[in-house]
Amino acid sequence: MAEVAYVNASRVFPGTPPVRAVDNLELSVADGEFLVLVGPSGSGKSTALRMLAGLEDVDEGAITIGGKDVTNTPPKGRDIAMVFQSYALYPHMTVAENMGFALKLRGVPKAEIREKVAEAARMLDLTRYLDRKPKALSGGQRQRVAMGRAIVREPSVFLMDEPLSNLDAKLRVETRANIAALQQRLGTTTIYVTHDQVEAMTMGHRVAVLKDGILQQCASPRELYDRPANAFVASFIGSPAMNLKTVPLTPEGARLDGLVVPLSRSALDGAAAEGLSEVTFGIRPESLRLAAADEAGMTMTVELVEELGADAYVYGSVRIGEQSERFIVRVDGRTPPALGQQVEVTVRDADEVHLFHPGTGLRLTA
Amino acid sequence: MSVDAAALRSARGETRAAPTAARRGQRSRLASIGLHGALVTASAVAVFPILWVLVTSFKPDTRAVSPTPRLLDESTVDNYVDVLSGARGDFLAWFGNSVTIAGLSTLVGVFVSATTGYAVSRFRFPGRRGLMLTFLVTQMFPFAVLIVPLHNILLALGLLGQPLGLVLVYCTTTVPFCTLMLREHFDAVPTDIDEAGRVDGLSPFGVFWRLVLPLARPGLAVTAFYSFLTAWGEVAFASAFLSVADDSKTLSVGLQVFVQQNRAEWGHLAAASVLVALPAVVVFYLVQRFLVGGLTGGAVKG
Ligand SMILES: Nc1ncnc2c1ncn2[C@@H]1O[C@H](COP(=O)(O)OP(=O)(O)O)[C@@H](O)[C@H]1O
Ligand SMILES: [Mg+2]
């Protein structure tokens, strides 16, 4: 068990121009915490994880595990276990040998290795496969062997790099729950990389969002969803994505077509202080609704209706200023509007509006 | 795959009768006879010279060249007895020399190529591309051109006439090829495996020795066999660089005593040749069970 900290850590890949794959990362992970690193492809998640594993150099800053500076320690000295996206099982060893390899290298007595491997195998439902080679396993079983290999070592930190991305959708959901439960039970500090925001939101105690190597926000899933620190986090977290539009400001609030969404005094003052005449206005599909007959609303032309049973998502276009903007609205699944229909849309609650600086993307509302 | 092949066949109008009858791996009787006939013929052509040598080795020198060799009534093991007893030169000493030199060449050559191939496959270092290019270029020179410079080098090193010198010379010819070959095999081992090993507690050399080498066994088998054969059958360097003393010759050099300018002892030569071929067969046998592909299967995803 240990806490982990990135202290202004950077990884710069040489090239013209050099790629700052991880840029000044400042992040601490508490003992026993499940932290998820999430971000689009190429955002530096894997690089950040590999720096922690010792597989990638730390060009600037430092990394500590359990309070000890490990910046220049080789992987074998860091007491970490890693689950690779490709699993990276040893093809010439049986499942049992794969799982026990690290212990064997440490000179743990054979009987003890066998016992620990058997226990991990029980936990992961692999007992029947212990004598097989990886070649003779299904994708899901290989994934569990990779997990088993990490568990058996009882490391102070687990690192997982998209361990579910090679599984089919159903197995992925199942395994997701299993990993979270396993981590809960073992209480081992875990850093988990994924590009899938649903995985991040459902598994992590905290979620760190990366983009272009820069940490955007690190917070609990709830906080991330309710108070995204910038427009990127707002658009990345949540599915379907938040509606984010640049709209003009009026003294009363933000104007969307025929609808003026009242904004709080503090938000308006904040925008005024910045000298803004426009803001990036964000609202989640579930915070929009169809307006009643006598209510003001913005007029939306329905272009697509996605019915999910209980709910339906309506995709349509709204004229804002000179442009036509796409909006997504969540409606009751039993009475969705028809394609091509014109509907009036309004905001459920003005408090659910997120405002961002149109230039920097930073959150304006407190 | 199978669908594609079937579709292709039907497109060419080659499907026989009902499509269900044309299952994969089934041949008509005629095709089967033709195929086996061709295989038998090819095998006979390949095996015949060896069979002839084997037959000749059991016959007296005088009858060796008779066009209708009879195996039963004139075969003796006299040739083998003569060869092994050392009546025609110190055969056993040659044999020992050859085993030592070929064995050492194999060990040293494969070790050097494996470590070089691994470095080229995994590490980025200045001159990495140049190195492989140099290896290719050195393969272009015929042996004859190399004899004089190699002779001078060995002389300068004080290794002329020593088995070790010859071992080094053989390595210069085998290492480039073996390195290219092994590098291909190492490249086929995913680097994720290296990294998993390092996280599991292996040193960089441990990764090479315990993970990558075992996974490149087919490549090692081929290169070991190639190195052994190169050293085992080579004549020109062996006669140029070993001392002329009879008991320091290798087999391939020694065999020449049976074929003198105006007198050839074909029976003895054949018997000696059979004896010479045996170790190569043994090495091949030892090595062939590693010549299976797909060792890295199952390493990564599904
Ligand atoms: N070995 C490398 N050499 C050069 N650039 C690299 C290397 N590895 C990763 N990168 C770059 O670093 C960035 C982050 O990569 P990565 O951490 O793999 O992203 P992610 O895992 O978030 O998809 C990418 O732009 C990628 O091109
Ligand atoms: Mg990645």
Q: What is the mean pLDDT of residues A151-163?
A: 95
Q: Tell me the C-alpha to C-alpha distance, in Å, between residue A226 and each of A29, A254, A290, A365.
A: 22, 20, 22, 12
Strand order in the sheet with A342-347: A288-290, A342-347, A298-307, A311-320, A323-332
What's the pLDDT at B3? 42
In a domain, A366, yes or no: no
In a domain, B261, yes or no: yes
Strand order in the sheet with A68-69: A19-29, A4-13, A60-65, A68-69
What's the pLDDT at A179? 94
Question: What's the domain range around A209?
Answer: 4-230
Question: What's the domain range around B212?
Answer: 82-296
B25 and B172 housed in the same domain? no
Question: Measured between CA atoms, how close is B189 to chain A, in angstroms?
Answer: 10
Q: What is the DSSP letter of A362?
A: B
B97 and B195 housed in the same domain? yes
Residue A52 confidence (pLDDT) above 90: yes
Token pair for A296: 């003001």
Q: Judge whether B205 is closer than 8 Å to chain A, CB to CB.
A: no
A124 and A266 housed in the same domain? no
**Residue identifier of the C-alpha nearest atom 14 of ligand 1:** A44
Residue B294 confidence (pLDDT) above 80: no
| pLDDT averaged over every residue in chain B | 83
Residue B8 confidence (pLDDT) above 80: no
B19 and B119 housed in the same domain? no
Instruction: Quote the ligand 1 centre to A14 CA distance (angstroms).
Output: 11
**Residue identifier of the C-alpha nearest atom 11 of ligand 1:** A21
A262 and A199 housed in the same domain? no
In a domain, B73, yes or no: no
B14 and B139 housed in the same domain? no
B114 and B15 housed in the same domain? no
Exposure string over B108-119, b if 16+ CB within 10 A, otherwise e: bbbeebbebbbb
What's the pLDDT at A254? 87
- Does the distance separating the beta carbons of A136 and B202 come in below 8 Å? no
Q: Tell me the C-alpha to C-alpha distance, in Å, between residue A241 and each of A66, A236, A308.
A: 37, 7, 16
Could you give the CA distance from residue A182 to residue A226 in angstroms, rounded to a whole number? 28
Residue B134 sits in a domain whose CATH number is 1.10.3720.10
Q: What is the largest CA-CA distance in chain A?
A: 79
Q: What is the mean pLDDT of residues B118-127?
A: 91
Q: How many domains does chain B have?
A: 2
In a domain, B209, yes or no: yes
Nearest ligand for residue A161 CA: 2
Could you give the CA distance from residue A137 to residue A120 in angstroms, rounded to a whole number? 17
In a domain, A365, yes or no: no
Question: Measured between CA atoms, how close is A48 to chain B, in angstroms?
Answer: 15
- Does the distance separating the beta carbons of B200 and A105 come in below 8 Å? yes
B166 and B39 housed in the same domain? no
Q: 10 Å Cβ neighbour count for B180? A: 18
What's the pLDDT at B16? 44
A71 and A216 housed in the same domain? yes
Chain A residues whose C-beta is within 8 A of a chain B C-beta are 53-55, 74-76, 80-82, 84-92, 101-102, 105-106, 133-139, 142, 149, 153, 166
Q: Which of A175, A208, A230 is the last residue of a domain?
A: A230
B49 and B86 housed in the same domain? no
What values do phi and psi take at B252, rounded to 5? -65, -30
Residue A78 sits in a domain whose CATH number is 3.40.50.300
In a domain, A173, yes or no: yes
User: Which residues sit with Cβ closer than 5 angstroms to ligand 2, an ion?
Assistant: A 46
Could you give the CA distance from residue A59 to residue A47 in angstroms, rounded to a whole number? 12
In a domain, B289, yes or no: yes
Q: What is the mean pLDDT of residues A1-6?
A: 90
Question: Measured between CA atoms, how close is B180 to chain A, in angstroms?
Answer: 23
What's the pLDDT at B19? 46
In a domain, A364, yes or no: no
A313 and A226 housed in the same domain? no
Nearest ligand for residue A47 CA: 1
Q: How many domains does chain A have?
A: 2
Lowest mean pLDDT among A361-365, B54-58, B86-90, B237-241: B86-90
Residue B72 confidence (pLDDT) above 80: no
User: Is B106 in contact with B228 (CB distance < 8 Å)?
Assistant: yes
Best residue in A70, A84, A95, A149 to probe B by mutation, most B CBs within 10 Å? A84
Q: A85: closest CA among A40, A45, A132, A122?
A: A45
A273 and A198 housed in the same domain? no
Token pair for B265: 């002892």
Could you give the CA distance from residue B109 to residue B90 in angstroms, rounded to a whole number? 28
| pLDDT averaged over every residue in chain A | 93
pLDDT digits (tens, 9 = 90+) for B246-281: 788 888 888 888 777 677 788 888 888 888 888 888
In a domain, A342, yes or no: yes
Residue A87 confidence (pLDDT) above 80: yes
**Residue identifier of the C-alpha nearest atom 26 of ligand 1:** A42
Nearest ligand for residue A45 CA: 1
Q: Per-residue confidence at B153, pLDDT binned at 50, 70, 90?
A: very high
For residue B87, the SS3 value is coil
B114 and B182 housed in the same domain? yes
A215 and A245 housed in the same domain? no
Lowest mean pLDDT among A45-54, A208-217, B223-232, B256-265: B256-265
| Share of residues in chain A with pLDDT > 90 (%) | 82
Q: Which of A82, A92, A153 sits opposite B215 (nearest CB)?
A: A92
A90 CB near ligand 1 (under 6 Å): no
User: Is A194 in contact with A39 (CB distance < 8 Å)?
Assistant: no
Q: B211: closest CA among A105, A351, A323?
A: A105
DSSP A203-243: H-SEEEEEETTEEEEEE-HHHHHHS-SBHHHHHHSSSSPPE
Instruction: Quote the ligand 2 centre to A41 CA distance (angstroms).
Output: 7
Evaluate the omega torsion of the peptide bond into residue B49 and state whether it is cis, within 30 degrees of 0: no
Q: Which of A230, A254, A284 is the last residue of a domain?
A: A230
- Does the distance separating the beta carbons of B298 and A142 come in below 8 Å? yes
Nearest ligand for residue A211 CA: 1
Could you give the CA distance from residue B48 to residue B167 in angstroms, rounded to a whole number? 33
- Does the distance separating the beta carbons of A84 and B215 come in below 8 Å? no
Q: Judge whether B197 is closer than 8 Å to chain A, CB to CB.
A: yes
In a domain, A302, yes or no: yes
In a domain, A176, yes or no: yes
Residue B299 vs residue A330, higher pLDDT: A330
Residue A43 Cα: closest atom of ligand 1: 22
pLDDT digits (tens, 9 = 90+) for B9-34: 444 444 444 444 445 567 788 899 99
Q: What kind and span of H or E run contains A355? A: strand A354-356
- Does the distance separating the beta carbons of A138 and B298 come in below 8 Å? no
A189 and A278 housed in the same domain? no
B120 and B24 housed in the same domain? no
Q: Which of A230, A260, A286 is the last residue of a domain?
A: A230
B13 and B111 housed in the same domain? no
Q: A224: closest CA among A248, A205, A211?
A: A205
Sign of the torsion angle spanned by Cα atoms B131, B135, B137, B143: positive
Residue B142 vs residue A219, higher pLDDT: A219
Instruction: Quote the ligand 1 centre to A359 CA distance (angstroms).
Output: 27
In sequence order, the 6+-apart residues with CB closer than 8 A to the CB of B4 are: none
Chain A residue with CA closest to B203: the answer is: A76
* Locus of tokens 């390949």: B46
A74 and A131 housed in the same domain? yes
Residue B300 confidence (pLDDT) above 80: no
Could you give the CA distance from residue B108 to residue A128 in angstroms, rounded to a whole number? 43
Residue A15 Cα: closest atom of ligand 1: 4
A152 and A253 housed in the same domain? no
Token pair for A7: 């202290």
Best residue in B194, B200, B203, B300 to probe A by mutation, most A CBs within 10 Å? B200
Q: What is the mean pLDDT of residues A205-211?
A: 97
As for the ipTM of the complex, it is 0.88
User: Is B243 in contact with B161 (CB distance < 8 Å)?
Assistant: yes
Q: Which of B190, B196, B302 sits opposite A138 (nearest CB)?
A: B302
A323 and A304 housed in the same domain? yes
Evaluate the omega torsion of the peptide bond into residue A240 and state whether it is cis, within 30 degrees of 0: yes
Q: What is the DSSP letter of A252?
A: S
A327 and A349 housed in the same domain? yes
Residue A188 confidence (pLDDT) above 80: yes
What's the pLDDT at B80? 85
What's the pLDDT at A243? 95
Q: Per-residue confidence at B1, pLDDT binned at 50, 70, 90?
A: very low
Q: Which of A54, A134, A139 sits opposite B299 (nearest CB)?
A: A134
A211 and A251 housed in the same domain? no
What values do phi and psi take at B285, rounded to 5? -60, -45
Taking CB atoms and an 8 Å cutoff, what residues of chain B touch A76? Answer: 198-203
B95 and B244 housed in the same domain? yes
Exposure string over A209-248, b if 16+ CB within 10 A, otherwise e: bbbbbbbbbbbebeebbeebbbbbbbbbbbeeebbbbbbe
pLDDT digits (tens, 9 = 90+) for A276-297: 888 999 999 999 999 988 888 8
